[in-house]
Structure 1
Amino acid sequence: MRDAAPPTMRRARRTLSATVTLAVACTTLTGCFEEPSPHDAVRDFLVGWQTEDYELAAGRTDGDQATVRKALSDAKLELDAASFRFKIKSVTVDGDASKADFRAEVDLGENNPLWEYDGVLPLHLVDGSWKVRWSPSVLHPQLKDGERFAVDITPNPRQPVVDRSGEPLQTDTVLYVAGVYPAQLGDRAEEVVARLSELTDYAQDRLLSRIRSSPPDKFVPLVTFWRTRYQALQSKLGAIPGIKVVPQDQPVNPDAPRQIVGSVSALTPETEQKLGGPQRAGDSVGKSGLQQAYQNYLTGSTETKVITLDLKTGEEAAQLKEWPGRQNVSVKTTLDRGMQTAAEQAVADSDTSSLVVVDKNTGEIRAVATKGMHQEKDALAGKFPAGTAFSVVAADALLKAGVSPKQRLDCPAERTVGGAKFAHAGQTTTGTGGVGGAAGTFQENFAKGCVTALASLARRVKADDLKKSAEAFGVGRQWRLPLKSFSGSFPSLDGDADKAKAIAGQTVQVSPLGMALVGAAVASGTWRPPVLVTEPTSPDPAAETVPRAQPDPVPMDPKVRAALTKMMRAGALGTPAQAGRAPVYGVTATAGNQLTWFVGWQGDLAVAVLSKNYNAGAVAGGFFSALRTSS
C-alpha cells in the first residue's frame, strides 16, 4: 500500500530516505578503491541528479555543462517526477575506463507505482580526473539523441453507484474540463499556466509539469469545472490562448436515497492535495455517502505509460514501462428503486420521519427514506431512545424466563419499580377495557406499549439475560457497513430499577437501522448484520481481499419466536400499518419527546419507522400500501 500522506510530505520523505540510501552505498564503496577512483564522480553525479543540484552533477561529466544541466532538469519535468532515488550496484575499473551500474527508482506521483530501472554510467579519465561520459543514455539506456521522456496518461470516466438490479442511482451531469494540446502552445506554456493558475489557484509548477510530461498531440486535462463555476469563468478561460474546454458527461447527480448515494464535486487544488490518490484534473471527487466511501473504486486509477518521443515527429519512439492501473468499477448496492420510491412517498406527509427497509432473510438494506432527518446521520447512525419498541427485545428475555404471553398485568397510570417511577402515556386504566377493568395479558400490554405493565416484569428476569437478548438482536454489535451506522448501546444493570428502565427502553439507544434488523430477526427467526454494498467487498482497495468479518447470524429460540410473532401480530392489529393483503406484524411504541416507533414486517420486508409528532405506524402503513399499489 502506498504512503497515504499528502503528496508534498510523501515526496519529501522519499527524497530524504533516498539520500541516506545513497550515502550508505557510497560509504561502503569508498574504501574499495585507491586514488584516483571513479567513486567520487559516480557519487556526485547521482547525488546531484537526485537532489536537483544539477551543477554538481554536470561538473562530474565530460559534456557541455549547460546541456547536461538542462537535460537533468528536463528529465524531471518530462516525467512529472516527485523524486528520484539511486543506489550504486557496482563500480568496475579497466585501465582508464570505468563503469558504474546503478538502480533508479522514480516516483511518478499520481498514485502510480515507482518506476524502477537499471542504468549504467560509463566513465573515463580526463586530465587525471574521472568523468561520466555524457550521452542521453546516461539518463536511461534506451534514451537516444533527439528524444525525450514523456508520460502517457489514459484516465477512465467515473463509474456509477447502482441499485441491486444494476441500474445507476445517479444521472449524468455535464462537467467542463479545461486543458491543452501541448504541441499547439509553442513557447506559450508558461504564460498559459500562469493565467490559468491565477483563475483557479492550481500551482503553476504542477500545471506546467503535466503539460511538459505529456505527449504533444494528446489533450492534457488541467482543471475541471461544474457548470456554475464554468459559466462564471467562461469568458476569462476563452481569453487564454491554447486553452480548450471539453464537456464531459459524468454520473454525479444522485437519485434517492441521495444522502446514501452521496454527492460529488469537481477536483480542486485543496482536494487534490488532501487525497493524494489517483485523482487528476478531469476527475470528480466523492464528498459524501457511498461516492466518498468508494472514491478510489469509482474513479479508479489511470493507465500510465513511460515512453520516449522523437523530438522531430512527436511520435512515440519506445515504451519504457506500462502500468494498466486498477480499473474503476461500479459500486453495487442492495437498494431497490421501487421500494425506495414507496418509502419516499410514505414519509412525505410527515414533518420528521425516518424509515429503513431491510430484507428479513439477508439483512440487505432495500430503502432508506427521511423527512426532516438525514439518511446516514439519523436513519443509519442516529442515537435515539428505544422507548417501548425495545419491548420486542425484552420480550425475548422475558419469554425465555418463563413469562407467559397470557399472564395478567395491571396497566396503571403510574408505577414505581425499585424506586424508579414510570408513567403510562395512554389511557389511565388498571386493565384493558377502562378504569377498573380486568388486567390485560402480557401480549395485550405489549401490543399497546403499556410501559407501567412492562416495567413491572423487571423482577421476573435477570440482568444478564436482558443483556444477552440485546446482544442476540445486534444491540452494540460491531458490524461492517461502508457508511456511518449505530448498532445501539445497552446500559449496565444493577437492580430492578435499571432492569425496568431497560425493558421500557428508557436507557437503551438505537438507530432506525438497528430496529429494522430487530424486526427482521423475528420475521425470519435469525438476526443478521446489515448489508448495503455487495460489490466491491470493501471500501478500501488495500483490504479488498481481506474485509473485516461480519458478526455471525444469531438464530432465535423457535418457541420464543413463535410466541413473539403472535404478540407482534396483535401489535399491528388496529394500527395503520396493517395495510396490504399479507398480514402485518409489529409494534407501535413511544419514546418520549413526541417520538414514536413502528417496528415490524410484512412478507419479506422488515421496517423500522421513527417519527416525531406523527404516527410512525401510519408511515409504515403508507409504505406497505404504496408498495402494493406499485407492484
Structure 2
Amino acid sequence: MRSGAKVALIGGVFMLVAGGVGYGAYNVVGGGGEDGGPEATGTSSEVRTGPPSDAETARTSKEFLKAWAAGDATAASLLTNNEAGAAPLLTGYAEDAHVTRAVITPGPAVGAKVPYTVKATVSYQGRTKTLSYASELTVVRGLTSGKALVDWEPTVIHPQLTEGATLRTGWSSAPEIEAVDRNDKVLDKETYPSLAPVLATLREKYGAKSGGTAGVETWIEPADESAPKTTLLTLAKGRPGKLRTTIEAGAQAAAERAVKQYSQASVVAVKPSTGAISAVANNPVTDFNAAMQGKQAPGSTLKIVTAAMLIEKGFVSATRPVECPKEVLYEGNTFHNLDYFSLPDTDTFTTSFARSCNTAFIKKIDEVHDDSALGKEAREVFGIGLDWKTGIFSTDGSVPEAVGGEAAAQYIGQGTVQMNALNIASITATARTGTFHQPVIVPQSLDGRQLAVASRSLPPHVTQQLNTMMRATATWGSGKAAMASVGGDKGAKTGSAEVDGQGVSNSWFTGFSNDLAAAAVVQSGGHGGDAAGPVVAAVLRAGS
C-alpha cells in the first residue's frame, strides 16, 4: 500500500451528497468544489486555541469527506491530526477494499461529532455488491497548528476497524463452514450470538480442512495475524464445509439466555469424562472471548485445588475437624471470612469447604512448608498452565510462584492467581473424575494437535472426598439456593473475588451434575451463589 498516493478511479464515481452539515451535493471526481477558506488552505497565520467552533466543525468535516469521496487520500489525510496513520487506510479504500463507487451522506453535527452513512460499491473480478454502513468523525484542535482537524481513528473509515487492521476484498483465505453441534444441529451466530468469535476462528483454522470452497468477500484483516478476520460482505458465495464441534445446542442456548441477565458475564460447560466443551457464552459479545481468554482472580472456586492439595498431603480430610476463626493473621496480612463468621472447632473440613471458610484454608499454609505447593498441584493434577490447544484461542490459567501473604492469598483464589470460566469448569471436571482431560471444542482427530496431559491423577480417596464436599456445598452449603433446581448427582463451589478499586466483588460459581461441569463469573455480581450460581444452574439443567 502506498501511503499518501492519490487514487485514480477509472470509471468510478465517488460522491458526497447533501446532509445536515449544510452544503450541497457534489460529483467531485476530477476535483473542483468550494473553497474551504483561509484556514482550510493553511494561509492563516493565527494559531487558534480551544474547542473548534460549529463553523470549523462543519467546514473541516465537509472538506475531509469531500476529499475522501473524491478518492484523494493525500488531501483527506492532511485534514486529520495523524496524516501517517490516515493515508494508508484512505488509499486502501480503493486499492485494497476495491471500492469503485461511494456515496457519503453526512448527518447533523452533534457538537464536534459528525455522523455519516456510506454506501460503497465493491467490485472484484466481475463481481459487484453494495456495502452500507454508518460511522462518525470528531473534529479537534490541532495541538501545534491550531487548525480544526479530523481526530483520526480507523473507525472513521469503518466502525469495526481497529488499530493496525485493514479493509480488504478478494478470494477468502478460508472457505466458509457450516458448524454443527455434537448432534448435527447447525450452529450460527444469529441463533447463538456468543459463538460469533468462536465460529470466525474455527473458519480461519479449519475452513480448508472442512471440504468447502472459497468465495469472494470484503473483510477486516486484523493486525494480529493469529486473530480471526471479520467478514463484512460476501460478493460470491463459496460452498461451506461441514465442521463438527463438541458444543451441545441445548446447553449453548441456555448459556446464551443466562448470561444476558447481567451486563458482564461469562460461562463455560465441560464434560468431565472427555473434556468436550458443551457451551461457551459471554455478555457482551465481542471479538474477545472472555469466557476462554479472560484472566482474573477466581476467588474461592480455587479452593477445590487447595483442598485437593491439603487432602493429598494429609493435613485435612473431609471428616476431620478444622479451625475456622472469624479472622487470621499471616505474615502481617489479615484474612477474614465473609461477614466475619466463624465455626465451632468441632466442625469438619467439609463444613468449612461448604460454608467457604477462608481462615480454615489459610491456617494450613504453615503446615505445608512449601509456598509453591499450590502451583504444583494446579499444574500436575489439574493441567493449569500446560498450553491447552482447545481448537480456538484460549488461556489455560496460572498459579504463579508466590511467598508469604501473597501465597496465602492464593489459597483462597486471590492474589496473583489468574483464571477464566473455562479454567474453573475444567478444574471442577477434573475434581469430578480425578483425571484431567484437556478441554476441546473440536475433536483432536480434526488436525492431530497435541493435547495437554497432566502428569498424574488424583488418588481415589482424594477424588471421593472432593465430590463429597462439593455435594455438601450444593445441598446444604453456600451453593444450596442456586443448585436447588438442578437434578442428578450434583456438587458446587461458590466464590467471590475482590478487585482493587471495585466496590462489589466479582461473583464466581462452579458446579457439576452427572457428566457435566460448568463455571461462570459475573463482574461486580457479589456473592457467588447470588449471580453466577443461577447462570451455572441454568446450563447444568439444560445440558446434564
TM-score bucket of the superposed structures, by smaller chain: 0.5 to 0.7
8 Å CA contact retained: 2:494, 2:533? no
User: 2-side partners of 1:367 and 1:204: how far apart?
Assistant: 36
- Please tell me the residue identity of whatever aligns with 2:329: T
8 Å CA contact retained: 1:451, 1:504? yes
Distance 1:469 1:552, change over 3 A: closer
User: 1-side partners of 2:445 and 2:454: how far apart?
Assistant: 20
More deviation, 385-394/341-350: 341-350
Aligned match of 2:374 in 446, 466, 487? 466
- Deviations for 1:3-54, whole angstroms, at most 9, x for unmatched residues? xxx9x9xxxxxxxxxxxxxxxxxxxxxxxxxxxxxxxxxxxxxxxxxxxxxx
Aligned residues: 355
* Cα drift, residue 499 of structure 1: 3.5
8 Å CA contact retained: 1:354, 1:373? no
Aligned match of 2:463 in 542, 548, 561? 561
The within-5 A match list for 1:330-479 is 330-372=242-284, 374=286, 376-402=288-314, 403-426=316-339, 428-431=340-343, 437-438=344-345, 440-461=347-368, 462-471=370-379, 472-479=381-388
User: 2-side partners of 1:550 and 1:204: how far apart?
Assistant: 41
Aligned match of 2:507 in 592, 596, 621? 596
- Deviations for 1:293-314, whole angstroms, at most 9, x for unmatched residues? 5999xx9xx99xxxxxxxxxxx
Equivalent in the alignment of 1:184? none
8 Å CA contact retained: 2:361, 2:412? yes
The within-5 A match list for 1:308-323 is none
Distance 1:332 1:454, change over 3 A: same
Structure 2 regions of 5+ residues with no counterpart? 3-90, 101-122, 135-175, 179-187, 202-211, 500-504
User: 2-side partners of 1:488 and 1:370: how far apart?
Assistant: 18
More strand by percentage: 1
Distance 1:389 1:355, change over 3 A: same
Q: Does structure 1 residue 570 correspond to structure 2 residue 478? A: no
* Cα drift, residue 375 of structure 1: 7.8
8 Å CA contact retained: 2:200, 2:230? no
* Cα drift, residue 505 of structure 1: 1.6
* Cα drift, residue 510 of structure 1: 0.9
8 Å CA contact retained: 2:198, 2:392? no
User: 2-side partners of 1:567 and 1:199: how far apart?
Assistant: 60
- Deviations for 1:479-525, whole angstroms, at most 9, x for unmatched residues? 11343212111121345x34422212223111111110001011122
* Cα drift, residue 442 of structure 1: 1.6
Q: Does structure 1 residue 504 correspond to structure 2 residue 416? A: no
User: 2-side partners of 1:446 and 1:489: how far apart?
Assistant: 22
Query: How well do the aligned residues superpose, as a CA RMSD in angstroms?
Result: 4.3
- Please tell me the residue identity of whatever aligns with 2:424: M
* Cα drift, residue 591 of structure 1: 1.1
Equivalent in the alignment of 2:446? 537
- Please tell me the residue identity of whatever aligns with 2:458: M
Equivalent in the alignment of 2:392? 483
- Equivalent pairs: percent with the same residue? 26
- Please tell me the residue identity of whatever aligns with 1:481: T
State the secondary structure of the residue aligned to 1:610. Answer: strand
Distance 1:529 1:204, change over 3 A: closer
Q: Does structure 1 residue 516 correspond to structure 2 residue 425? A: yes
Q: Does structure 1 residue 550 correspond to structure 2 residue 429? A: no
8 Å CA contact retained: 2:97, 2:218? no
- Please tell me the residue identity of whatever aligns with 2:390: L
State the secondary structure of the residue aligned to 2:521. Answer: strand
8 Å CA contact retained: 1:391, 1:505? yes
Equivalent in the alignment of 1:93? none
- Deviations for 1:440-496, whole angstroms, at most 9, x for unmatched residues? 32211111212122111112223343232110212211111343212111121345x
Q: Does structure 1 residue 261 correspond to structure 2 residue 198? A: yes
- Deviations for 1:570-629, whole angstroms, at most 9, x for unmatched residues? 111223123222132011011113112112211111001111343543544455457647
8 Å CA contact retained: 1:353, 1:373? no
Distance 1:204 1:454, change over 3 A: closer
State the secondary structure of the residue aligned to 1:589. Answer: strand
The within-5 A match list for 1:180-259 is 201-202=94-95, 221-223=125-127, 225=129, 228=132, 254-256=190-192, 257-259=194-196
8 Å CA contact retained: 1:345, 1:626? no
User: 2-side partners of 1:444 and 1:596: how far apart?
Assistant: 21
Distance 1:250 1:400, change over 3 A: closer
8 Å CA contact retained: 2:388, 2:395? no
User: 2-side partners of 1:567 and 1:417: how far apart?
Assistant: 26
- Deviations for 1:115-166, whole angstroms, at most 9, x for unmatched residues? xxxxxxxxxxxxxxxxxxxxxxxxxxxxxxxxxxxxxxxxxxxxxxxxxxxx
State the secondary structure of the residue aligned to 2:488. Answer: coil
More helix by percentage: 1
- Please tell me the residue identity of whatever aligns with 1:418: E
